[in-house]
Structure formats: structure tokens, C-alpha cells
Amino acid sequence: MSATARMLPDGRLHLNHGPIDVVLRAWGDGAEVKRAYMQAAAAFRSILPGLCRELPLLRRPLPGPRPEGFVARRMHAAATPFADRFITPMAAVAGAVADHLLAAMRDGRRLARAFVNDGGDIALHLEPDQSFRCGIVTDLMAPGLDAVATIRAEDGIGGIATSGRAAKGEGGRSFSLGIADAVTVLAADAATADAAATLIANAVDLPGHPAVARVPAVSLDPDSDLGDRPVTVGLGALKPIEIRHALAAGVAEAERFRSRGLIRAAILHLAGARAVCGPAPVAIAA
């Protein structure tokens, strides 16, 4: 299967190559936007082949050797600061793809605003006085516009990523070690947000709780970088105090990352409850 690119009626560009499905858009002078789209489409063609060549290395736990490809290097660089926890560069793959394509779009171009959305992990560019309103999902099992984050250029946020327990066995495309319905992280770039969201979602947990169903990751995907680590495939009813304890564990992890300057903010959701770390610019949607 070869990479494809097509314009959507609303002015967005849709890029697809196997498991990589991206929607992006830029605002600015028409000629500049057109060139930005051409640059993104050209950069996109080599992403999947490059990642496939280095998959064995990218699935190894960090710390580890630095890969060669442009996107693979972004993945490695984003995940390495979190290597005191179990993490592989694959935790940052979607965000790194988004960052790489945004950089390709911006190369030599004058754009007022731009975003690259890779499966919900989003890289952002904002010139001064520009802003985006980004939808926040509170449950990956039933995605919908539940809240809105207003991102301004002066916030220094270049990436948003969401992770949670919507594993492949429950209709998602990734696995989680925790029980969060959704964890959204705002950071300086999408790859860092992606890696942090994965680990914060893992930390929202109630180890050994009978309501949590888990199976080894390899039983669902023999190629999973998580190996035989138990991933969440089901969650029963929880008491309010249990929900608070699980969210508190996630907030503690998020605060640790924020204190190190790795993330700007995080919004955590579990069973209808929300917890926020940092000055998240979030407003509840009606």
C-alpha cells in the first residue's frame, strides 16, 4: 500500500499510509498554504518505511541506542526523559509523526496557524496573537466533545496528546497499563505530550482491584512493545473513593513531570470524574 494524500472539502489535507492516518491544516496566504501542504505530503511518503526499518530498536525499553531516522529520533528524544519508568520510543510515535509533518509544513513557509492531527495526537503552530480551540475527550471508549482547551501562542504549547484504557481489545489502537478513561497532556511538542500521556494514564490505577481485567499485551498483539506486561481490557464499577485514589496517583505522576518542565498541564478522567494538573486552559463544553 502506498501513501495517499487528498484534499478535504473544508480545506484540510488527509494523509494515509497503512496504520498512519493524519489530518492537517494551515492558515495563511494561499500560495504559502499550498506549498506547505506539498511539503507535508512529500515528507509523509518516507515515514512508514523508515519506521518499519527500525521497529526492533524502537520497541526496546529505554535507555537504549539512538535510532537513525528523523521520526525515530524524535520518538527516542521525547521518551528518553521518562526512562526512569518503563517506556519504549513507541510511546511517542504518533506525536513524533505529527511533529515531523508540522516541521515539514513550516520549513520556509509563513503560516499564521497550523495543526497536524495524527489519530488525536496533535502538533500545533501559532504565530503571536493566534489561538486554537481544541476539543478534549473524557472517555476514549465513547469519544465526544466533552470540554474545550483554548491554546494561545503565549502558552508555549506545541503539542496535545491523549491516552487511556481504550485498548485494542476494547476498540482502540493502543494498550494501557492503567484504568484511565482518558488522559490529555499539553506540552511543548506532540511527541513529549504523547509519551507523558501514556505514562500518566498507566499511573491512574488500582493495582490488584477485582474490577480491573487484565491480560498480557502479547496475548493481544504478539508484536507489542509491552511484552507480557498486563494491560487493561475491562473495568467494572468503582466506588467514589477508589476513583479518587486512582486519579490522585495519576495526578502525582503528572505533577512529577510538570515539576521537571516536561509538560505544561494534564487533564485526567475516570468514571465521570476529572482531575487537573497545572494551569490547564480548559472550559466545560455545554
Separation between Cα atoms, residue 84 and residue 211, nearest integer Å: 29
Q: What confidence score (pLDDT) does residue 147 get?
A: 78
Q: What confidence score (pLDDT) does residue 144 get?
A: 65
Angle (CA) 136-6-9 rounded to 5° is: 65
Secondary structure (DSSP) of 242-257? HHHHHHHHHHHHHHHH
**60, 88 in Cβ contact below 8 A?**
yes
Using CA atoms of 43, 47, 48, 54 in order, give the dihedral in degrees to the nearest 10: 160
Q: What confidence score (pLDDT) does residue 89 get?
A: 98
Q: Give pTM, 2 decimals.
A: 0.93
Q: What confidence score (pLDDT) does residue 269 get?
A: 94
* Domains of the chain and any CATH numbers: 4-284 (3.10.520.10)
Q: What confidence score (pLDDT) does residue 140 get?
A: 72
Q: What confidence score (pLDDT) does residue 148 get?
A: 83
Secondary element (H or E) of residue 277:
strand 273-277
Q: Which residues of the chain have pLDDT under 50?
A: 167-172, 283-286
